[in-house]
Amino acid sequence: VTVSSLSERDLIARIRARLPAAPRWLLVGVGDDAAVVEAERNRVEVLTVDAIVEGVHFDRAFVPPEAIGRRAVAVNLSDLAAMGAAPRLALLSLVLPPQLRLDDFDAIVEGAATVAAEHRLHIVGGNLTRSPGPLMIDVTVVGTVKRRQALTRSGARAGDELYVSGSIGGAAAGLCVLKQSPPPSTTSAVVDRYLRPTPRVRLGMLLSRNRAANACMDLSDGLGDAVHQICEASGVGATIDAAALPIDAETRRVFEALGADPIDAAVAGGDDYELIVAASPKRRRRLAAAERHGGAPLTKIGVCTADRAVLVKTPDGGAAPLPRAGFSHFGPS
Amino acid sequence: VTVSSLSERDLIARIRARLPAAPRWLLVGVGDDAAVVEAERNRVEVLTVDAIVEGVHFDRAFVPPEAIGRRAVAVNLSDLAAMGAAPRLALLSLVLPPQLRLDDFDAIVEGAATVAAEHRLHIVGGNLTRSPGPLMIDVTVVGTVKRRQALTRSGARAGDELYVSGSIGGAAAGLCVLKQSPPPSTTSAVVDRYLRPTPRVRLGMLLSRNRAANACMDLSDGLGDAVHQICEASGVGATIDAAALPIDAETRRVFEALGADPIDAAVAGGDDYELIVAASPKRRRRLAAAERHGGAPLTKIGVCTADRAVLVKTPDGGAAPLPRAGFSHFGPS
C-alpha cells in the first residue's frame, strides 16, 4: 500500500492520531487553513526552517524511515538549541513521492512525533504534497527565549574560550560505516550518532539562562565551518587545539581504517548537531553549571583571538589554517 | 550561470539584497541559526506552511520564475486571509535543482519579495538546499489576529448565507489557455489570474475585524471542495445557486471553446485564491462594509442548511449534489 492510495485527509488523520493532546495555548490546530496560537508572555520568539532531501541529506537505502522523521525534526531543534530557545511548536511540510509505502509514511511520522515529544515541541500544523521527485521533509519550528538571552553567532570576543559539546566526527564516521558494502550487521554507537542525532536543547537553554555564553551555534555543517562562521560573525579569529578535540575511540578507529586522518575528518564532518560555544574565561563556573545539567560534556578546544586568522595548532607544535570544509549545499563555500 | 556555481552564502546575500529594511520587531534576521522576533501584543498568532512543487503545482514551461516566486508567497497569504489575519513574517525554504539559472533564481526571489512587500509581510529567514528533483518552494508565514476574531471553517450555521469574493474559474481557465499549443501570443486576464493570484488579505482582515463572518476559507482547491469543507467542519449542509456563481465572460468563453460546461469547470477549478464566507443574514451590512474596503466584490452564491446535503440548484430548477472535484494531492478525496 502506498500513500497515493489514500486521500490527503486520510493521511492527515494518521498524523493527528499520532499527536498528543493539544496544549492549552493552541487555539486552532491541524485541520483549518492555519494554526492559531497564543504567544508566550515575556519571551521573544525564535523561528527557523530546515529541509532534508532524499539523495542530498539522507539515503533511504540505509536510513530507516523512523530515523528520517527524527532527523527532520532534530536538525531544527538543534537550531533552537543554538539560540538557547525552548522548543514550542512545529509545522511539518511533507513532500512525498506517490509510491512511498504507507508503513514508511507512518514510521516517518512516528519518528518526527517521538523526537518532538521528547523536547516538548508540539506539531500544530503542516502541509502534505505529492512530488515526482525525492522524498523531502521541511520543518519549521518556533521556540521562545527571554529577551536579550538569545544566543547568536556574533557575540564572541578576543580572549573568549571556545568549547564544544559532546564529541565530534561521530556522525560522519557513522555515515562511513553505513555506506560500507555489505552493510554492517551490528549497530554501533557512531551509526546511531548519524541516524539519531541528539539536539542539545537542554544545554542551549541552560547556557542562555545563566548567560554563560557570548556566542553559540550548532555544528550541522561541521566544526571547521562553525568556527569560521562564529569568527566571521563576531569579527575575531581563533586558534583551535587539535589535540583537545573530543573525538571518541570508535570514531578514530573508523576514520583510521579508511586511511583518513581522524582530526581532519572530524573537523570536516557534518551532522553532529553539537554546540560550539564562545565564553569569557570569567564565566567558567557558569559554563560548568550549564554542563552539569545540560546532558553533555563541554570540552575546551581553543580560544578566540584579536587576529582574524582561524588556525589549528597541530600536535607537532605547528599551526595551520583551520579547513572550512564541511558540507556545501551549492558551489564553493 | 547556474545556482550551483555560487556558494550558499552568496545566494543568501542575493536574497538579503532584495529585502527591505528590517522592521523594529525583528531582533535577529537572516544569517544566524534562527530569526528572533518580538511577539505582537494583544494578538494571537496564525501560522501556516504551503509548498509549491514543479510538475505538480506549476510548469516552468509556461510559468515565468517571477510568477513562481509570487505564487509561493501568495498561496500562503491566502491562508492568512482565510483566517482574517494580518501578515507579519515569512520563512522561505528554497529547494533548488543545481542547474537552475541564476537569473531565474533572482526572478523567483524578486517575485516572492514583491508580493511579500505588497502585503507587509517580512521575510525574516529561510533555508536553501539543492535537490536532484524538481524546483520546490516551501513558505511558512505567520500573521496575527485579535483573539476570538480568527475566522475558522467550523462556525457556519444553518441559515447563514454563503458568499464568494471576486470571481471563480478564472485561474483554471488561464491554465487551459497557457497549456494550448502553440502558446497564446497575447496575455489575457484569465492567464494573469492563474499566474499572479491576488490573495484577499485586506478583505479577510476586514471580515475578521467587524465580525461579519461565521466561517471563512480560501478556494485554493476549488469552490466545490471549499463548500464541502466548510459544511463538514461546521456540521451543516448547503444549497448553491449555480446561476449566481460569479464567472466572468472570458472564463466562460475559454471553457465553452474547450467544450466544457463553464459552471462545472469553475466549481472544480482550483488556484483562484478567493474567499468563501458564511455569514448570518443579520450581518449583511457588516459584510457590505468589509466588501466596500476589501478590494473585491462579494457575491451571494447560496445558503447553509440544517440538512447536511451539499447541493447545487441548476438553472433548470433541479438540484444535484455539488461535485467535490478540485485538486487532490493524493488519492481519492
- Is the CB of residue B121 less than 8 Å from the CB of residue B73? yes
3-class SS string, B243-288: HHCCCCHHHHHHHHHCCCCHHHHHHHCCCCCCEEEEECHHHHHHHH
- Tell me which chain A residue has its CA closest to the CA of residue B53: A131
Question: Does position A333 have pLDDT exceeding 80, yes or no?
Answer: no
pLDDT value of residue B180? 86
What is chain A's mean pLDDT, rounded?
A: 94
Q: At B316, is the pLDDT very low, low, confident or very high (cuts 50, 70, 90)?
A: confident
What length is written for chain A?
333
- Tell me which chain B residue has its CA closest to the CA of residue A48: B34
Interval B75-112: pLDDT, tens: 999 999 999 999 999 999 999 999 999 999 999 999 99
Q: At B332, is the pLDDT very low, low, confident or very high (cuts 50, 70, 90)?
A: very low
Instruction: Tell me which chain B residues have a C-beta less than 8 angstroms from the C-beta of A4.
Output: 330-331
Q: At A194, is the pLDDT very low, low, confident or very high (cuts 50, 70, 90)?
A: very high
ipTM: 0.93
Q: At B30, is the pLDDT very low, low, confident or very high (cuts 50, 70, 90)?
A: confident
Instruction: Tell me which chain A residues have a C-beta less than 8 angstroms from the C-beta of B233.
Output: 31-32
Q: Which of B44, B56, B217 sits opposite A131 (nearest CB)?
A: B56
Q: At A326, is the pLDDT very low, low, confident or very high (cuts 50, 70, 90)?
A: low
Mutate to test the interface with A, among B101, B140, B221 (most CBs of A within 10 A): B140
- Is the CB of residue A37 less than 8 Å from the CB of residue B87? no
- Mean pLDDT, rounded, for A96-124: 97
Sole residue written with cell 562511513: A176
- Tell me which chain A residue has its CA closest to the CA of residue B90: A47
A201, A191, A200, A251: which is closest to A64 by C-alpha? A191
- Mean pLDDT, rounded, for B49-74: 96
- Cα dihedral sign, A177-A178-A180-A183: positive
DSSP string, A6-60: S-HHHHHHHHHHHS-PPPTTEEE-BTBSSEEEPPPTT-EEEEEEEEEEBTTTB-T
Q: Which of B91, B134, B140 sits opposite A133 (nearest CB)?
A: B134
Contact between chains at B218 and A33 (C-beta distance less than 8 A): yes
β-pair partners for B237: B305
Question: Does position B151 have pLDDT exceeding 80, yes or no?
Answer: yes
Interval B204-253: pLDDT, tens: 999 999 999 999 999 989 999 999 999 999 999 999 999 999 999 999 99
Q: Which of left, alpha, beta for A266 (phi over 0: left; psi -120 to 50: alpha)?
A: alpha
pTM (2 d.p.):
0.94
Question: Does position B67 have pLDDT exceeding 80, yes or no?
Answer: yes
Q: At A329, is the pLDDT very low, low, confident or very high (cuts 50, 70, 90)?
A: low
Interval A249-288: pLDDT, tens: 999 999 999 999 999 999 999 899 999 999 999 999 999 9
